[in-house]
Amino acid sequence: MRMTIEAIYASGVLKPLVPLPHLKEHERVRITVETSSVVDELCGKLVIDPAVAHEIIESADYSMLES
């Protein structure tokens, strides 16, 4: 079974934010850890003027492509 859950790391232990009743006590699991990125942290919090955003998108100075 594969699932994605959110957890908090505290005192050396990963603690799920919601109960996991489908797991048996002491059941072995495999965990992949992915921390949130700056983009995730700012999502919905950063406000930018549309004209400035357009200027950034169109500017060669900010291009992700090599010139």
pLDDT digits (tens, 9 = 90+) for 10-62: 999 999 999 998 999 999 999 988 887 777 777 788 788 889 888 888 887 77
Look-up of token digits 């955003």: 53
- Within-domain flag for 22: yes
- Within-domain flag for 39: yes
**CA gap 12, 37 in Å, rounded:** 21
DSSP letter (8 states) at residue 37 = P
**CA gap 52, 33 in Å, rounded:** 35
Record the pTM: 0.47
- Within-domain flag for 57: yes
The three-class DSSP label of residue 42 is helix
- Within-domain flag for 1: no
- Within-domain flag for 67: no
Total domain count, the chain: 1
**CA gap 31, 57 in Å, rounded:** 38
- Within-domain flag for 24: yes
- Within-domain flag for 2: no
Residue 11 sits in which domain range? 7-62
- Within-domain flag for 30: yes
Tokens of 48: 């930018």
